[in-house]
Amino acid sequence: MTGQREISPGEAAELLRSGEAQFLDVRQEYEWDAGHIEGAHHVELTELARVAEELDAERPVVLYCRSGERSAMATEALRASGWNARNVTGGLTAWTAEGLPIEPESGAVAGPRPGAA
């Protein structure tokens, strides 16, 4: 395995701009709909194992969620299977705090679903 496990939102943005990495958003559907990183693919955490074989093994995988906790678990799972996977430290919350764009343009970082534990 190469590369560090955690990368900053700025480092992730550079990988996105260069097209060097593939981005996976592992949040739930309502979170994705509220706002996400342009160019990312939506794969709920529970579906990651099923879609892993569809990823390009030659390119790093950058994962994110709202805070970086769920995507950290996904990153470790992929790394254990031999992927060059990296987690965005602080997730989409940190991404937007650095002024990095999400789509739709009027999008927002969704919090936990009301009534969720």
- The set of catalytic residues is 65
Cα gap 53→77, rounded to integer Å: 13
Q: Are 71 and 42 in contact (CB under 8 A)?
A: no
Element counts in the chain: helices (H) and strands (E): 5, 5
